[in-house]
Amino acid sequence: MVCGAGIAGISTVYQLTRLRVGKVVLVDPESPMTVTSDKSSESYRNWWPSRPMVSLVNRSIDLLETYERDFGIGLGRRGYLFATAEDPSETIANAESISSLGAGPLRIDDAYRGGDLHWSEVPPGADILTDPDVITAWFPYLAQGVGAVLHVRRAGWFDSKRYGGALLDAATGVGAEVVHDRVVGVDVDGDGVRVIALGEGGRIATEVFVNAAGPGAAAVGNLVGDQLPLFTELHTKVMFRDHLGLVPRDAPMLLWADRQTLDWDAEEREALADDPDLAYLLGELPAMCHFHPEGGTESPWVVGQWSVATPRTAPVFPIPVDPMYAEVVLRGLATMIPRLAPYTEWLPSTTVDGGYYTRTESNHPLIGAGTHPGVFHVVGLGGFGLMASAAAGELAAQWITGGDLPDHADTFRPGRDEKPLVATSGRGQL
Ligand SMILES: Cc1cc2nc3c(=O)[nH]c(=O)nc-3n(C[C@H](O)[C@H](O)[C@H](O)COP(=O)(O)OP(=O)(O)OC[C@H]3O[C@@H](n4cnc5c(N)ncnc54)[C@H](O)[C@@H]3O)c2cc1C
């Protein structure tokens, strides 16, 4: 029995049905993929500051490629392009470090192959360009003064709803069942799991219980006697309609890798300074303001995200939306792409949504066995749950069926000694 029909639960169910383990039931009071998993920016990258994460996401991308062939999940590979106007030595040092963790070779000003290549033709690893003329020739829309770009190649975005839907259809097509209800109790002790109690009064007998409850994972962990080291952080994104056609439709994901201070006029400064909740917008804001074009070449839509304020808070739905968020992201993006400046004067049509990153201090997920026999967790997928979900579900299924575990399994074990990860880059998270 899998609790939670977000991408973590669906991927686990899909893998279990492939292993023909017997009856699999997915329980959730909400429709599948509607709490966090449909709020993501749908992006993926194998570029992580820890070897186990590189390994997990590389495996996940291998599986996403298989799903692209089998189901068509809109997998693109334009990469993540990190632009910096600062001394590029930090960018280069970080990239060398991540490359050495298994993320692929690093080429510096060497045989760059750009353009919108098919995913199967994109070179592995990453490229760094430091020659301003070469940078301008490939990316004429970037701000003057960009001293280096890092183009991570095993990266891009995909259609996460098609992906989740395809896996769920495949699983239910071979007998998996979806039950619309809430798990409210688990009868479990040192002898194992026996019965799950549901909110509507039903009971399901099972020997295996999988916690894939996303932002509800800590509460569900408590039901099985596991205190999981999780917290939730509010993150939002903005979709905006590029009605002036200013965004290059063939662009990669574009990220401003530097911290920045926004340029407000005197009246705006005064208003912000007077509001204790917004005064922080006058100070230096984090790095990694980013966006990518959404949809095909005809689509006017763009997805932008910037983790300017990510309060740790218990999950509340509907999420509180900061009325300044869209404007702040557009202003941040205009630093990187100056031609977007008209949108900072006259905001385009925007939609802001989001959800919670359910995280651990190390930003490593918790995947594997709980304290009692028959209990498993696949939780804590932070801001990478879509990209990591294929391998996370596979790893959960390996734990459940007693299969061979990959080298990275131990790092993600729920009972591990949890410590904050000292990231190789202090430039913030995505
Ligand atoms: C703004 C934003 C942008 C993001 N961008 C990206 C991105 O670009 N790439 C990426 O890889 N990731 C991204 N993420 C992260 C990604 O969306 C999440 O990591 C992922 O969706 C988590 O999936 P999940 O299945 O763990 O949780 P969810 O999708 O939240 O699913 C958990 C499910 O458990 C159910 N549940 C909870 N309690 C119970 C209970 N007691 N009984 C039954 N069911 C229960 C809930 O109803 C829910 O349906 C982003 C997230 C946000 C918020």
Question: What value does the mean pLDDT take over residues 87-93?
Answer: 93
CA of 121 to the centre of ligand 1 (A): 31
Encoded amino acid at 382, one letter: G
**pLDDT of 118-152, one tens digit each?**
999 999 999 999 999 999 999 999 999 999 999 99
Cα–Cα separations (whole angstroms), residue 349 to 241, 243, 352: 5, 8, 10
Residue-level pLDDT at 116: 82
Give the domain ranges of the chain. Answer: 2-73+160-230+360-412, 80-155+232-355
The tokens for 201 are 């009064």
Across 97-113, average pLDDT: 96
> CA-CA distance, 45 to 156, in Å (whole number)?
7
- Please provide the DSSP assignment of 53-112 as one string: HHHHHHHHHHHHHHHHHHT--------EEEEESS-THHHHHHHHHHIIIII--EEESSS-
Confidence of residue 159 (pLDDT cuts 50, 70, 90): very high
Residue 171: what residue type?
A: A
Q: Do the beta carbons of residue 81 and residue 37 sit within 8 Å?
A: no
Average per-residue pLDDT for the chain: 95
Q: Please give the distance of CA 346 from its chain centroid, rounded to a whole number.
A: 30
Work out the percent of the chain whose per-residue pLDDT is above 70. 98
Give the CATH class of 2-73+160-230+360-412. Answer: alpha beta
Nearest Cα to 155, choosing from 81, 63, 88?
81
Mutate to test the pocket of ligand 1, among 34, 38, 40, 291 (most ligand atoms within 8 A of CB): 40
Which of 206, 386, 387, 429, when mutated, tests ligand 1's pocket best, judged by the most ligand atoms within 8 Å of its CB?
Answer: 386
Q: How many A from CA of 392 to the centre of ligand 1?
A: 13
- Give 317-358 pLDDT, tens digit per residue: 999 999 999 999 999 999 999 999 999 999 999 999 999 999
Each residue of 253-290: pLDDT tens digit? Answer: 999 999 999 999 999 999 999 999 899 999 999 999 99
Backbone φ, ψ for residue 112 (5° rounding): -70, 130
The kind and range of the H/E element at 173 are helix 160-173
pLDDT of residue 142: 98
Residues 6+ apart with CB under 8 A from 402: none
Q: How far apart are CA 393 and CA 333, in angstroms?
A: 35
One-letter amino acid identity for 155? A
430 pLDDT tier (thresholds 50, 70, 90): low
Tokens of 179: 């039950």
Which CATH homologous superfamily contains domain 80-155+232-355?
A: D-Amino Acid Oxidase, subunit A, domain 2 (3.30.9.10)
Tokens of 296: 């095909």
Ligand 1 pocket: which of 10, 36, 364, 367 to mutate (most atoms within 8 A of CB): 36
Residue 203 in this model has a pLDDT that exceeds 50? yes
Residues lining ligand 1, CB < 6 A? 3-9, 27-30, 35-37, 39-44, 182-183, 212-216, 220, 235-237, 354-355, 357, 381-387
> Under 8 Å CB-to-CB from 13, ≥6 apart: which residues?
2, 24, 26, 167, 168, 171, 176, 393
For residues 293, 295, 301 and 304, what is the CA-based torsion angle, rounded to 10 degrees? -40
Model confidence at 190: pLDDT above 60: yes
pLDDT higher than threshold 60 for residue 427:
no
Q: Residue 174 C-alpha to ligand 1 middle, in angstroms?
A: 24
What ranges make up the beta strands (E) of 319-359?
A: 350-359
DSSP symbols for 331-342: HHHHHHSGGGTH
Q: What's the CA gap between 99 and 105, in Å, rounded?
A: 6
Measure the CA dihedral 81/85/88/92, to 10°. Answer: -20
pLDDT score for 422: 57
In order of 221, 231, 327, 408, the CA distances from 419 in angstroms are: 19, 14, 36, 16
